[in-house]
A and B are shown apart, each in its own frame.
Chain A
């Protein structure tokens, strides 16, 4: 199976290790991964700020790079959602967030790694309520959680229950800057929930939420570590 890897702009620039983990992970499962070199960004930063029209060029670049593939996989729920809702249009390209690609398409059963730490899952809202990677707490129905299902296959991991299992971290793209005070407060509240529950490593399918939480925990010298779920599934350890 061949897939195109979409690495969101901020991951490409600031968290190459997350891109690498995603690539290696897919390769480990026998997927032929191509990374179109001319890719930039999905245009979400502009669109969510009210300037969808200024994101048109980014969308065009996206389609030029990915339009001919059957599958595109990205290590981000948020960017995947934006592409599906605002970039693809009539195109038949199937875009998947990494976790759902692993559970739904590759049907991964064995991950073959160990991670002996207490881990808290941060449910990124766009992955959760946009892509339905898990059942959100508001909805009534059968429970499911794709990132958690994958992590449950990791040896020695201790998944920790939170007080508020799917409250937003307050990142929200330019919201983090335009509503700085409340964004910071939301992030600190999330960190506190994880730390009160004894979490050693916070993980998520979205690096953008994690960048915000990491920025806060570093500034406040909290010991909690931050890792993208691809890194854990690929066998990395907290540094």
Chain B
């Protein structure tokens, strides 16, 4: 089996290009500052976050009943509701719907859930043409990549690189990278795809229990364009996406766009309640590990996430290692607390890809305690044995030393004199990772304790 690349290895590779790292960091930091400006304009911001968190708390603790009511109301509206316990079932449902309606051409607006389920590959293998209609997603689809960010999927690409991709796939002029020109080309290209599509697949941002309807937020209107033209609309929704009442939407819509990009609201917040006459609307409710996560006491409220991406933009590690370094559908801090629940071994280094600085938790609009969950996942990872034996021993010995005052004093003194006596070359040998790019502190002539004994107390 191929060795899974660790986050540290992937980050190191990314960091080799110092200029790109700086550009990536600054691009995302800029989004973070736009978020700050937008948030600071609402004096009630912290109250909104609190409300958003509490409402989701309610949803998670009543998920079973709420889902049943939601299904009932959606069905009464004329939506066909399907349940999927995992990715395979979800993909199979989509496939069967497409077959039933003899669909060939599919347009899809942004949906992290379908990424999670690997829907595109599944459908392409079966001969369907799936066109991602979100501009960023279309770009990476051309480039045969996965999203590096959940809100800005192509954020890892520079303007010039996008120009080259468009030149290859859409025949735009070589070297042209004017955003207006490129967007125009994409618009014309996508228009044709929209017109020819027989089915539109969308994600769901919010499923509203009381109305049995759902809301899809986009900035480009591409979800609407797709669903208005195609005969079949398939909406794919994670079961945690519920909110109880229409009134709750006000809380989330105000938080979502401000947190994501600093806009006051997404350009399109489209409400879907029932199919237009003669058309079909399907809603697939997907579990795929969510129930299991709900059952994990320390990690359940990771399911409050509204996928705004703010924790990525603020994360000093994400900004300097890019989304791909996480090797997971959802990168960044939230991904690092979701992914270990899906595959602990594969994602065992992600909870350690953090300094536990806590910026993610403070920026999160639904107040997920992300950094505390990272800490908890670390405990789970080491208990499951997915950690290096050397580190485990070092920690065990460290624990023993710190648990014994006399051993601690003795070893502290020895280490300090060893540092003093050892030639620099040896101190900074290859095994000393700290010292690769950093000096060690100068060992002092005495420790604080030694000083204290001499100067204060017997």
Contacts and interface: CB of A to CB of B under 8 A. Distances in A.
A12 B437 contact: no
Interface string B390-431: 011001101111111100100010011000000000000000
A15 to B, nearest CB: 7
B340 to A, nearest CB: 12
Contacts of B42: 140
A219 B439 contact: yes
A14 B356 contact: no
Given A138-B362, A180-B437, A218-B438, 4 more contacts: A46-B399, A54-B395, A129-B362, A130-B358
Contacts of A179: 7-8, 11, 317, 352-353
Given A58-B402, A58-B403, A170-B316, A13 B12 contact: no
B403 A60 contact: yes
Given A13-B415, A20-B451, A129-B362, A57 B403 contact: yes
B352 A57 contact: no
Interface in B371-407: 375, 378-379, 381-383, 387, 391-392, 395-396, 398-405
A160 interface: no
Interface string B33-57: 0001001101101100000000000
B316 A184 contact: no
B126 interface: no
B361 A14 contact: no
A35 B450 CA distance: 12
Nearest to B438: A215
B354 A181 contact: no
Interface stretch (B88-96, B181-189, B272-280, B441-449): B441-449
Interface residues of A, number: 75
A214 B447 CA distance: 19
14 contacts: A12-B412, A13-B447, A19-B451, A20-B451, A37-B449, A37-B453, A41-B408, A46-B395, A49-B395, A60-B403, A138-B36, A179-B7, A186-B316, A187-B438
Shortest beta-carbon contacts, A-B, top 10: A57-B403, A172-B355, A215-B438, A54-B399, A50-B378, A19-B448, A129-B358, A58-B402, A125-B357, A50-B382
Nearest to A35: B452
Nearest to A78: B356
A49 B36 contact: no
Interface of B: 7-8, 11-12, 15, 21, 25, 29, 36, 39-40, 42-43, 45-46, 314, 316-317, 320-321, 351-359, 361-363, 375, 378-379, 381-383, 387, 391-392, 395-396, 398-405, 408, 412, 415-416, 433-434, 436-441, 443-444, 446-453, 456-457
A182 interface: yes
B456 A51 contact: no
A50 B402 contact: no
Given A51-B392, A172-B354, A185 B21 contact: yes
A182 B15 contact: yes
Interface string A3-35: 000010101111111011001000000000001
Contacts of B45: 140
A167 interface: yes
B396 A51 contact: yes
A178 interface: yes
Interface in A175-217: 175-187, 189, 211-212, 214-216
Contacts of B361: 129
B444 A52 contact: no
Residues of A contacting B: mostly: helix
Contact of A61 (B25, B39, B402): B402
B319 to A, nearest CB: 9
A125 B358 contact: yes
A65 to B, nearest CB: 8
Contact of A138 (B15, B363, B446, B453): B363
Nearest to A57: B403
Contacts of A175: 352, 354-355
Given A13-B447, A38-B405, A215-B441, A50 B379 contact: yes
Nearest to A176: B434
Contacts of A178: 8, 352, 391
A32 B188 CA distance: 77
A43 B408 CA distance: 13
Nearest to A58: B402
A16 B320 contact: no
Interface in A42-91: 43, 45-58, 60-61
A40 B403 CA distance: 7
A13 B447 CA distance: 5
A16 B448 contact: yes
A130 B358 CA distance: 8
B219 to A, nearest CB: 23
Contacts of A129: 357-359, 361-362
A113 interface: no
B355 A40 contact: no
Given A12-B448, A41-B408, A180 B402 contact: no
Contact of B416 (A13, A174, A189): A13
Contacts of B381: 50
Given A125-B359, A140-B43, A175-B354, A35 B317 contact: no
B336 to A, nearest CB: 12
Contacts of A96: none
Contacts of A39: 405
A212 B433 CA distance: 13
